[in-house]
Amino acid sequence: MRVTMAVAVPEDVVEAPEPRVLLAEDEEPILDGLDALFSSQGFSTTLAPDGEVALDRIALGTFDLIVLDLMMPRVDGLTVLRKLRAAGDETPVLILTAKGAEDDVVAGLEAGADDYVTKPFGVKELVARAKGLLRRPRREDDRPRRFVIGAALLDLDAQHVRAAEEVRLTSREASLLGYLIERRHRPVTRGELLVDVWGYNDGTVRTRTVDVHVQQLRSKLKAVPDGEAWIETVRGRGYRFVAELEREP
């Protein structure tokens, strides 16, 4: 005989709402698997079998996370991502790419993706990445984050660098730069960045997302005088911000 027990919940206790995730994937078996996986992890799932449907779902609702395949019919995932960011939507986006598709990864990060996973992927890895993106990094203070670096003005809140021309930063790139600047007296490890910037519980997660983001950021900063040298690689340690700067009054 099965015995059930009712548990009284105090009236002043409000249960946390299920995080809402949009799953955009055109391969039906993978989409069904993602639906089952995220549902089992306490997510409220909405499905989109192609990019056009994904855009419709985004227009109709608010999501805490978007898992987005880049190779989809009708409207590809990269276009969906660009439209999302152009509209000012900063919902965390985890992109799915084919193994070995480095150009797709770079294009996705440039368009504003927060992280990526390559197919085929492990269930634990995907869940860890997804939950990490739901944890927003906490600002250490609320001062404006504007810095003068040589002939350039770096505004982390507005997410751009202004010199002879303006360089736009993604939200994740601005967070990465800010974290390195606040700890510029020492090298910062990849593990620290994964935990404090990406929100992972465990900094030992096997991913190259930090390195790819740094490479992409350095590529952007080539447009700024000496910008490519702002971030130094410290062999065996991680990264360090080495440019001379001053906080703008």
Q: Are residues 110 and 155 in the same domain?
A: no
- Domain boundary residue among 85, 111, 134? 134
In a domain, 11, yes or no: no
Q: Are residues 37 and 99 in the same domain?
A: yes
**What CATH number is attached to the domain comprising 91?**
3.40.50.2300
Q: How many residues belong to the chain?
A: 249
- Domain boundary residue among 134, 165, 184? 134
Could you identify the residue written with the tokens 């703008």? 248
**What CATH number is attached to the domain comprising 153?**
1.10.10.10
* Overall domain count for the chain: 2
- Domain boundary residue among 134, 154, 188? 134
Rounded CA-CA distance 222/10 in Å is 57
pLDDT (tens, 9 = 90+) of the chain, 249 residues, equals 333 333 343 444 345 578 999 999 999 999 999 999 999 999 999 999 999 999 999 999 889 999 999 999 889 999 999 999 988 888 999 999 887 677 888 889 888 898 898 888 888 888 888 988 887 665 555 666 889 998 899 999 888 999 888 999 988 899 999 999 999 989 999 999 988 888 887 766 677 889 989 999 999 999 998 888 999 999 988 999 999 887 654
Domain coverage including residue 179: 146-247
Q: Is 57 helix (H, G, I), strand (E, B) or coil?
A: helix
pTM: 0.75
Extended beta strands in 62-163, E state: 65-69, 93-98, 115-119, 146-149, 152-155, 160-162
